[in-house]
Amino acid sequence: LLTTYLLLLSGYEFVPFSSMEAVIENSKKGYYLALHQTQGTIKNDQPNWEPWVLFFLRTMKQQKERLEIKIEREQMLKAKLPELSLKILELVKSRGRITISEVVTLTNANRNTIKKHLEQLVTENHLEKNGIRKGVWYSIK
């Protein structure tokens, strides 16, 4: 949360959220070990904060590396997708899900062209098709 706030203060207009919870979850053993080691000294005159601080910094580094990969993937995706497909992905990300009719209304593109782009986005695992017939809607995979 603090990181997101600092990025927004620094002028970033869009800050994708990425939880550190998953990184901590993947290193539970290290988390509890660092916590236990630090808690064991907390009542001392000079508590040993080093295990906790090192764990936290390593976790931040892992998170940074994960975000770099995520950003790199997104940039590669943008470089190779047609403009309409990018627009559709942006709409789905901002709305959570979308129907063909909504895409037609929001983009003013031809319905059949939209269907082809959606089909391609599903085939390439960017989107997931949900429902059947007239109840079909799309979400991020």
Question: Per residue in 26-72, pLDDT tens?
Answer: 889 999 999 999 999 999 999 999 999 999 999 999 988 888 878 87
The CA distance from 14 to 33, in Å, is 36
Q: Give the pLDDT band of residue 8 (cuts 50, 70, 90).
A: confident
Helical packing angle, 50-80 and 28-39, nearest 10°: 150
Strand 137-140 versus strand 127-130 pairing type: antiparallel
Whether residue 125 is predicted with pLDDT greater than 70 in this model: the reply is yes
The CA distance from 23 to 25, in Å, is 5
Stretch 14-18: mean pLDDT = 63
pTM of the model as a whole: 0.52
pLDDT on residue 77: 73
pLDDT on residue 17: 63
Helix (H) or strand (E) segment spanning residue 128: strand 127-130
